[in-house]
Chain A
Amino acid sequence: MKHTLQQIFHSSKFLTGFVIFMSILLVTIFYPLFVPNPPLEIIAQGSFFPPGTYVSNYDAVFSSTAYTLNLPDASAKRIAAKLGNKERSDIKDYLIKVGVPADQIDTTNTTQLLDQWTKNYDPKANIPGMIFSQQRYYQRLDKSLAGLLSSEGLIIAAKNVDTGALEQVGMINQNDYVNIKEVASVRTLPLGTDNFGRDVLTELVKATSVSLEIGLIAGTIATLIGLILGLLAGYIGGAVDDVIMFITNLFTVIPSFVLLILISYSVGQEHRGAVMVATVIGFTSWVWTTRSVRSQVISLRNRDHVNLSKLSGHSLVYIITHDILPYIASYVVMAFILQISSAILAEASLSILGLGPKTSEVPTLGLMMNWAMIYQAQILGKWWAYFPVLLVIALITFSMNLMNTGMDQVFNPALRD
């Protein structure tokens, strides 16, 4: 047994297939740990954004005092608008009245003028000879000057999920480069978005794992049914064999895919979850496993070790599990792998026809193809919405078939090169 495993892993074909398959599997396991976003969450308004890094323009930005946008020539214009020649001379008058020497006041030096103004202006001070309207005028002027030369940056805020309040998460100073990590709502979409504005990569990873699950469930069901029926038909023979072969022949005559379509259609859209579809696929694809297990068992049951086991008084169950099963185990494993990959393909085919799992719960590889097709991704040239899906389907079936041929070469010495 150990020896056989070693041989299998020395087969380069098996190893290549195994590495590809395990990489896909590991990605489906570990990716959600790093990117925990729900796979069907709509993250962007609009469809088919090409791959890239996106910052949401709905992000809230606010300043602690007053909000100013200091673009270079914009600030010059703004200062000119707020601080004209009349305002400058008014400021000079005020400063002289509170006792600043006239020769120290330079109305052309904006920075110095505003600095003297903030130091000396007191809205409550009662300056003799100043009428009320003049007082109000200075108050208004003071307000309009606030933040005129502000060098304050932008604050980046994000909504706190618990309280719903905006909270500061970062700050952009003038002339700053912003570290992308400090921007709240940045998302890199390596494969862009699909027609619904969902992240294709996250969706694809989830779809891959759901499709693998479907393959696993369908493969297990098909292999179990095929194995049990094949064992019974082959080992017991007689009337049992006749009945089982009659059913098997019936299923052989009707193409399983047609059956699959009919059952899926009659089950109805609402009842078709991923597990349901997997079960239906499993129940329609056991035929050839049954046939080949049966023929192998027939040749085994005439082997003398089975006769000897009977002579040792072993029961039917013991003989099947100890003297028949181990001999066909390698074959059954190979059949199982093929069943998984063909079930994944069957789900994809069904979904493309619109008979796959219902669309609201989980994505599958077939559903993603279906969506891409309905929203014309192929025609519009939105390759990221369907090509990666095709690639994953191809890689999964390719790797599984590679593993299978690799195993075949080990178990079937006639095929060794």
Chain B
Amino acid sequence: MAEKKSCLKGVGLTKVFGLGRNKNTAVDHVDFDFSEGEIVSIVGESGSGKTTLAKMLLGLISTTEGEIYFQGKKRDIRSQRAKKEYWTNIQAIFQDPFSSYNIFNKIDSLFLDCINMRGGKNLPYEKKVEMMTEACSFVNLKFAELTNKYPFELSGGQMQRLMIARIFLLKPKILLADEPTSMIDACSRATILDMLLKLRNDTGMTIIFITHDIGLAYFVSDKVFIMEHGKFVESGTADEVILRPKEAYTKRLLNDVPKIHEEWDLSTVDIKNQ
């Protein structure tokens, strides 16, 4: 691990919403250092500040305090051009596939945007179709069946797979996946996780996987960060954190894992520790 290069680093990252009595510290002085090619999970219950942290990392909202370092250099995204440049390196998949799409645009336009962003604006159309077909087949979908369709004609699982296809086209250095499986059925969930793993293996992408489900985190990640009330309360490798949890909060999260995860032997682990 030590020889791996730092990809995204945060120092004392803080986000405060509101003023005065309405002050709400969503993210509270968090520090981290994600290496290239890692899958890192950020686990916390709803409202713990995971999405807020993700949006700060993406540069979609400003930070109240703290610094972000991208590939060892301090991030500077003050101009629109710098932002565009930064976003070729960091991309996201959001929680709700149904609100992730502009329902007025056909699916093609989503992909064409990606190709344009990768500098493929002037490619011949056949070449673009080829790229889109490849991206779709990466997520086991057929482009020919999707072209000229609107997002609302698809299922939630298909939509989220297309989001992965979008990432495949963009090939960013970092992918922030904010609870990508929480709004879709269990069947599609496993498929999506498989695809994220495949994406990392094929491209060496750093994936920051945000979830409230510690079982999923264990399933996919190298490192796990446990987040409570805007703070990282526990972190380490997946085995360390989940098999030998120190914090009461982590234990509680483990207890909340539904019985369906019994086959992963988590509850037995939990009992052992008590």
Contacts and interface: CB of A to CB of B under 8 A. Distances in A.
Interface in B86-124: 87-88, 91-92, 94-96, 99-105, 113-114, 117
B104 A311 contact: no
Given A310-B60, A311-B58, A326 B94 contact: no
Interface string B125-164: 0000000000000000000000000000000000000000
Given A313-B87, A313-B117, A307 B102 contact: no
Nearest to A303: B99
A262 to B, nearest CB: 37
B117 A307 contact: no
B114 to A, nearest CB: 7
Contact of B99 (A304, A309, A312): A304
A326 B105 CA distance: 10
Contact of B105 (A303, A310, A313, A322): A322
A315 interface: yes
A152 B99 CA distance: 90
Contact of A305 (B58, B95, B100): B100
Given A312-B113, A312-B114, A312-B117, A304 B102 contact: no
B251 to A, nearest CB: 32
B80 interface: yes
Contacts of B87: 310-313
B84 interface: yes
User: Is the interface on chain B under 10, 10 to 19, 20 to 34, or 35 or more residues?
Assistant: 20 to 34
Contact of A308 (B55, B80, B88, B100): B100
A325 to B, nearest CB: 9
B117 A308 contact: no
Chain A interface SS verdict (over half): helix
B216 to A, nearest CB: 20
Given A311-B58, A313-B87, A305 B99 contact: yes
Contact of A311 (B80, B91, B95, B102): B91
B94 A308 contact: yes
Most buried by B among A1, A305, A315, A326: A305
B95 A304 contact: yes
A307 B60 contact: yes
A323 interface: yes
B63 to A, nearest CB: 16
B94 A304 contact: yes
Contacts of A314: 113
Contacts of B104: 1, 322, 326-327
A305 B60 contact: no
User: Is the interface on chain A under 10, 10 to 19, 20 to 34, or 35 or more residues?
Assistant: 10 to 19
Interface string A153-194: 000000000000000000000000000000000000000000
Given A303-B99, A323-B102, A308 B92 contact: yes
Interface string A90-108: 0000000000000000000
Interface string A236-247: 000000000000
Interface string A2-34: 000000000000000000000000000000000
Interface in A317-331: 322-323, 326-327
Contacts of A327: 104
Interface in B72-87: 80, 83-84, 87
Nearest to A315: B80
A303 B103 CA distance: 12
A322 B87 CA distance: 19
A71 B104 CA distance: 82
A307 B84 contact: no
Contacts of A309: 102
A307 B178 CA distance: 13
A347 B268 CA distance: 78
A303 B96 CA distance: 9
Nearest to B81: A313
Most buried by B among A303, A308, A311, A312: A311
A314 B113 CA distance: 9
A304 B96 contact: yes
Contacts of A311: 58, 60, 87, 91-92
A4 to B, nearest CB: 11
Contacts of B105: 322
B27 to A, nearest CB: 17
Contacts of A303: 99
Contacts of A304: 94-96, 99-100
Nearest to A326: B104
A303 B92 CA distance: 14
B170 to A, nearest CB: 9
A305 B80 contact: no
Interface in B43-61: 55, 58, 60
Nearest to B105: A322
A190 B224 CA distance: 85
Most buried by B among A312, A314, A315, A322: A312
A323 B102 CA distance: 6
A309 B100 CA distance: 9
Most buried by B among A1, A304, A307: A304
A333 B117 CA distance: 34
11 contacts: A303-B99, A304-B95, A304-B99, A305-B103, A307-B94, A309-B102, A310-B87, A311-B60, A313-B117, A315-B80, A327-B104
Interface of A: 1, 303-305, 307-315, 322-323, 326-327
Given A310-B87, A327-B104, 9 more contacts: A304-B94, A304-B100, A305-B103, A307-B55, A308-B92, A311-B58, A311-B92, A313-B83, A322-B102
- The 10 A-B residue pairs with the shortest CB-CB distance, nearest first, are A304-B94, A326-B104, A313-B84, A304-B100, A312-B113, A305-B102, A304-B99, A303-B99, A311-B87, A313-B117
